[in-house]
Structure 1
Amino acid sequence: ITETPSHEPSPSPVLERSPSILPSKLPTHSNFTIATLSSPTSPVGPTNLQSESNGIFETVMITSSADIKPIGNSEVGNSGGNLGPCGSEMMIGQRCFLTQSPENPVVINVSNNQGIILAVLSQDDPIGEVEVSVAMPTREDVPGDSEHIASNVLDITMFDDFGNQITELQYPLTICIANKGETRSEVCLGFFNEDSQRWENEDCSLTLMSEPTRMHCGETDHLTNFALLLQTTGSSDSHEYTYYWLSAVFIIFALCAILAGIIAIEIRYRVEKSKENKSTSSAS
């Protein structure tokens, strides 16, 4: 009898934990998710919007039992299989199992294979089975006018367990994004309005997270593309609307002037014609 060698399953790779970028105390919400986009090596500015992680699109599954299962694009909607436990750190593309308890809320730093932390997910209470997708568009892929964008763009998408996209949130989402050094009075958390195809301000009452990476945090109750916008964006929009209305008033005034001129010419013509007819009648 020939014994075939048995194949022992290789142990799962152990996740190395990198230092957390979270402050000692998170913003207080009864139920929220924090998505943080930062680079520990250099501040973010218009010149380096194309970071090393451009084009990366990862998915994290949060189930009703508070399990978090990060999955790749090819596995979206198929989170079955035996998963190993994960701690507060995970690498993009890895799948792991995390049990949540009221005493230990979920806080996970998501980083790429270069060790750059791309997002931080925090959840206090289970919200049902939700598929969360986080992406960073490149500068060329940023929708609309990017002139006033002062940070990288963070694209956040959620799907329920039926595959339907979630656009409105029951609880506010806190988003912290690194910027190139503007103060809170100079930037707002902005979003891209897909209906008007314009960037608009969402939250201008930002909180500052200065350690270890300078970030500004704001809240939203809907999902789309987010970025820090210079507050001149709102002023520019106001000027554009002012110019629009001034132009409209000028055009209307010009049309009225032309119409008044035509009417005046017609009246003068009729008066002169009437005088001419009277002169002809008197001569005869």
Structure 2
Amino acid sequence: MSRPLRAVLLSLAVTLGSFSVLPAASASHEAAHSADEFVIASFNILGASHTDGRHDRGFDRSGVRLYRAIKALRRSQADIVGLQEFQLSQRNRFVARVGGAWGLHSGYSHNTDNTIAWRTDRFALVDSWTRRVPYFHGRMRKMPIVALRSRETNLVIYVMNVHNPADSKGNAERWRRKAMRIERKVTSRLTEQLHAPVFLTGDMNDREDFFCPFTGNGVMHSFLGGSNPPGASCAPPRSGIDWIFGNQYVEFSSPQIDRSWLVARTSDHPIVSAHVRLR
């Protein structure tokens, strides 16, 4: 590994939290002379605690819904997915069903609500770490970040997955704003220091109130389009609260918001996804 790259990674370790540096991280974006293409998704699968032991939300228990979630993910053809409310019992069933076909990183051993999953035949894990952001009442929670190496091109990409607080336990606007600023800082620094593809997936619990300030620095753009040019009015896309963003090394196409019967019987959120081409 070159001395300048090692210095950059060590700087990131201080900024974003401690993580190990593996030899595979030396693969740069220059390796992708032939474009790498895949599908990225985000899915809040509705945590087991919302349905198990009580049926007031009209959903089946989490075990039944988890198998539907796997079927829905397969149908989306996702290669990488940011999962929210992916609670431990659901994670254990997922692993029992898919085995080693998918890799997982959550940052906790006991709390897997926010997890990044990837197909191991398409990507290899280079590194994983977390960044703390505020959740309900400002309590800090770890959100996962991974560096993944494409098995096709050796390109290393970076993915962060988050769940920002809703207003279900009181007005959480101030905590969503603080979370957004942290998420913008993380994705901006990864982009500026590593010059590599960076993604953010998650349930932001906001529409334009997330899109406009998050994209205001010109680093990230949405899978659904929209614009936020300097000195002009922000024009967010028509969206729900589930998002995927990428930086300038990422081209999105064929965005999907899946609210089919299968997904609607699985969760109160859609699966959002997009085809990705890396520059």
Give me the TM-score of the superposition, normalised by structure 2: 0.30
Q: Which has the higher helix share?
A: 2
* Structure showing greater Rg: 1
